Amino acid sequence: MADPFVLSLIVEGIHCENCLANVTEALNKVPGVVGVRVDAKTGRADVTPGDIKAEAVLAAVRDAGFEARLA
């Protein structure tokens, strides 16, 4: 069962450490995000949300140049 306090995303286009850093930085800049863990091998990003909406997190990833969807 998924942790109800983590918003999980599938991020497409992470090919290198620079991509990983860009996605992580973009997610950390979203107001209300408490924590971020991005796995380059699986393309999965787990975001510990505070008072945020999923749309804001997805928009941040898109603005960084990647595609994302809820896992």
| Predicted pLDDT of residue 20 | 95
Question: What does the pLDDT look like over 13-71, one tens digit per residue?
Answer: 999 999 999 999 999 999 999 999 999 999 999 999 888 889 999 999 999 999 999 99
| Predicted pLDDT of residue 60 | 97
Burial class (CB in 10 A: 0-12, 13-18, 19+), 42: exposed
Taken in order of first residue, the domains within the chain and their CATH numbers are 7-70 (3.30.70.100)
| Predicted pLDDT of residue 49 | 86
CA–CA separation, 44 vs 8, rounded Å? 7
Q: Where are the beta strands (DSSP E) in 1-71?
A: 7-12, 33-39, 44-49, 67-70
Give pTM, 2 decimals: 0.89
- Answer whether 26's CB lies under 8 Å from 60's CB: yes
